[in-house]
Amino acid sequence: MKKTLSLLILSGYVAAAAADAPPPIASFDPAGLDRAAAPCADFYQYACGGWMKTHPIPPDQSRWGRFNELAERNKEVLRVILEKASADEPKRGPGDRRMGDLYAACLDEGAAEKKGADPLRDILAAVDGLESVQGLASLLARLHAAGAGAGFSYDSDQDYRDSTQVVGELDQSGLGLPDRDYYFKDDAKSQIIRRQYVWHVAKMFGLLGSDPKAAAEQAGAVMRLETALAQASLDRVSRRDPEKIYHRMSAGELAKLAPAFDWERYFAETGSPRSPWLNVAVPAFAEGFSALVSSALLSDWKIYLRWQVARSAAPWLSGDFASENFDFYGRKLTGAKELKPRWKRCVELTDQSLGHDLGRRYAEETFGADGKRKMDRMTAAIRASFKKDIEGLGWMTPKTKAKALEKLGTFVEKIGRPEQWRDYQGVVIDRADLLASVLSARRYETKRRLSKIGRPVDREEWQMTPPTVNAYYNPQLNEIVFPAGILQAPFFDRAGDEAFNLGAIGVVIGHELTHGFDDEGRKFDKDGNMSDWWTPEDARAFEEKASCMADQYSGYEATAGVKVNGKLTLGENTADNGGVRVARMALEELEASAAAALGDKEGFSPEQRLFLGFAQVWCQNRTEESARMLAQVDAHSPPRARVIGPLSNSPEFAKAFSCRPTDPMVRSKACRVW
């Protein structure tokens, strides 16, 4: 279970200090303000209204915000790195050769067009050769290694109750729609999406060679099987409780629970080490999958597996496959109008497949010691504020406070880049065969992850690549991680105003620290073990305060007629509120020691600049389709709620902008957990 602050729900990139790099993004954009709006009435409109008016969504995007500006600017820089690496020079190092050749293979659109579906020939032949359900175990092991998310997932993870060990983890998977609820919701838009999905699956079968009638029947078979898998799946809100996705079982116990599938053969075919037991995250799903193995027709399984193979490979096949894949997953689901240019997709593919090769080169060019020192100081200041915040909590008893402070004191910080790089030994990149190269990288990653089973935890490992514009808290390692990709404006301006920096990256640091104490993180102790270190009294007080926040955000709209799910987004909302609070506390300490150095700038006081810095990083326009989908599947609230929610709970914000108690930005019942 990895807790992340998903700023874009995508990967992003940071710019190298190259001479031809586009100009940097300003930490604060005065032109982005809507000065006609009243800050105490709608601070999001005040901080972002001007920006949103002048920044329409580009046709290849479903959302466009200041994060996207940063990501697009930085893709241009990574493009330069990859184009240099793709030159077929014999003196290239192994990392440059791998990533350069993958990028070159990806750019070769002509080769992809000539091959059509031919790159899938062997793996589809293996599916077609399935003679009985007993053969599913071997076939699924092969498909999972190739990146096809069919049937279920098998991975490695830390033991929730022994964070020093890595175990196997069996979990639900196998759906082509974004969430289990897409298969059951009866509103008009959900019914339309399901019909469009079936049409899309049929079109993909047509591209694989089926005639229209057969393709329609095959799409129906896929929908029947996936609906059964969805029925057995646990909903997203329930999955937020780690206790509901932790069920320790031996292989023998799993075989009794789900007897129709040959688990012994599957585990053997994956080549992963064996351990005495594994985590069966959702036992009801394992049972449901087993029942489906027994009841579904073999022909339906083969159809479903062909679909999963095609779906996982479609972006890297010929244009008709890539376009059809985009038409549903991009246009229909998210509202994007155009497929991204090929070079952008190839930059993203290289980061996904060989992120440490690319990240190493990127870090050499962009990550400086001065930025690390400043980030270390910022993190220390936010941690000190968080400590002070815990010590001052009126609702928590001394016993639980002591445990909370002990946990805070053991947080590990990772900043910029990993200390150890992956070597990708065994990955074979062929400039003349894109899909084979992609599958080689996928098999490497599957093998790498499964090989960790039964071994001690590698505490140096990173879950994100250095160019990623994101950050995360991992409760099982009790660590906060900030890739270099997020450590630039508008988040972090090394030479910029401290108040804006505290409002942006300072809030992010506080956000990640707060995750260690939100409704999920609080269930893990300082060592990363799932354990109850709360007194019953404090646990009840926490639940009461968390309920206030869940109710608050459930009142916000994600888009017209669609409310935010306050329970799904509870952890992120708690972290946003906590992040704003401790960042403001850090500013207070900074002002006390350097008041003359801060002062008024851009016509705003330091506190006003902090709140503006926080709000402006969330300036964003999004399509109605994207907003609707994210409201159902994303653990983060939409940008407007992420600004309005924390600030309307903040008496310091109200004071900074002279808001009256009756103003909309001042909640009569303010919610606060941390």
pLDDT at residue 274 in the model: 87
Helix intervals (H) in 434-506: 434-450, 498-501
Residue 597 has pLDDT above 80, yes or no: no
pLDDT at residue 69 in the model: 87
Name residue 295's amino acid. Answer: S
pLDDT at residue 662 in the model: 98
Q: What is the pLDDT of residues 405-425, one digit of tens each?
A: 999 999 999 999 999 999 999
Residue 496 has pLDDT above 90, yes or no: no
Residue 596 has pLDDT above 60, yes or no: no
pLDDT at residue 26 in the model: 80
* Beta strand pairing call for 479-483 and 278-280: unpaired
In a domain, 521, yes or no: no
Containing structural domain, residue 135: 118-316
Q: What is the pLDDT of residues 331-342, one digit of tens each?
A: 999 999 999 999
In a domain, 325, yes or no: no
pLDDT at residue 70 in the model: 83
- Ranges 191-200, 494-503, 504-513, 645-654: which has the least confidence: 494-503
In a domain, 261, yes or no: yes
Residue 197 has pLDDT above 70, yes or no: yes
In a domain, 8, yes or no: no
In a domain, 128, yes or no: yes
Q: What is the pLDDT of residues 453-465, one digit of tens each?
A: 999 999 999 999 9
What phi-psi label fits residue 632: left (phi over 0), alpha (psi between -120 and 50 degrees) or beta?
alpha
Q: What is the pLDDT of residues 127-161, one digit of tens each?
A: 999 999 999 999 999 999 999 999 999 999 999 99
Mean pLDDT of 94-111: 97
Q: Select which of 42, 96, 159, 512 is catalytic.
A: 512
The proportion of the chain whose per-residue pLDDT surpasses 90, expressed as a percent, equals 87
**DSSP symbol at 665:** T
Q: What is the pLDDT of residues 340-362, one digit of tens each?
A: 999 999 999 999 999 999 999 98
- Ranges 48-52, 369-373, 399-403, 446-450: which has the least confidence: 369-373
**37-41 long-range Cβ contacts below 8 angstroms, 24+ apart:** 38/663, 39/657, 39/659, 39/665, 40/654, 40/657, 40/658, 40/659, 40/660, 40/663, 40/664, 40/665, 40/666, 41/663, 41/664, 41/665
CB atoms within 10 A of CB 114: 10
- Ranges 74-88, 112-126, 295-309: which has the least confidence: 74-88
Mean pLDDT of 610-616: 98
Question: Predicted confidence band at 27 (pLDDT cuts at 50, 70, 90)?
Answer: confident
What phi-psi label fits residue 278: left (phi over 0), alpha (psi between -120 and 50 degrees) or beta?
beta
What phi-psi label fits residue 123: left (phi over 0), alpha (psi between -120 and 50 degrees) or beta?
alpha
In a domain, 189, yes or no: yes
Helix intervals (H) in 258-368: 263-270, 283-295, 298-313, 319-326, 333-334, 342-353, 355-366
pLDDT at residue 594 in the model: 67
Q: How far is CA 612 from CA 125, 270, 642, in A?
A: 58, 51, 13
**184-193 long-range Cβ contacts below 8 angstroms, 24+ apart:** 184/230, 184/231, 189/628, 193/332, 193/333
In a domain, 199, yes or no: yes
594, 596, 599, 601 alpha-carbon torsion, rounded to 10°: -100
Query: Average pLDDT, whole number, for the chain?
Result: 94
User: Is there a catalytic annotation at residue 576?
Assistant: yes
Mean pLDDT of 644-653: 98
In a domain, 153, yes or no: yes
Highest mean pLDDT (candidates 9-13, 71-75, 169-173, 374-378): 169-173
Which residues fall within 8 angstroms of residue 420, CB to CB, at 6 or more apart? 460, 461
CB 31 within 8 A of CB 50: yes
Q: Select which of 493, 519, 538, 576 is catalytic.
A: 576
Mean pLDDT of 8-25: 45
pLDDT at residue 475 in the model: 97
Mean pLDDT of 85-95: 92
Question: Predicted confidence band at 3 (pLDDT cuts at 50, 70, 90)?
Answer: very low
pLDDT at residue 495 in the model: 83
- d(Cα 35, Cα 43) in Å, to the nearest integer? 10
**DSSP symbol at 506:** I
User: Is there a catalytic annotation at residue 512?
Assistant: yes
Mean pLDDT of 591-600: 75
Buried b (16+ CB within 10 A) or exposed e, 579-612: bbbbbbbbbeebbeeeeeebeeeeebbbbbbbbb
CA-wise closest residue to 231 among 300, 154, 174, 312: 174
Q: What is the pLDDT of residues 274-322, one digit of tens each?
A: 888 999 999 999 999 999 999 999 999 999 999 999 999 999 999 999 9
Residue 542 has pLDDT above 90, yes or no: yes
Residue 571 has pLDDT above 80, yes or no: yes
Total number of domains constituting the chain = 1
Here the CATH number for the domain that contains residue 160 is: 1.10.1380.10
H or E segment to which residue 502 belongs: none
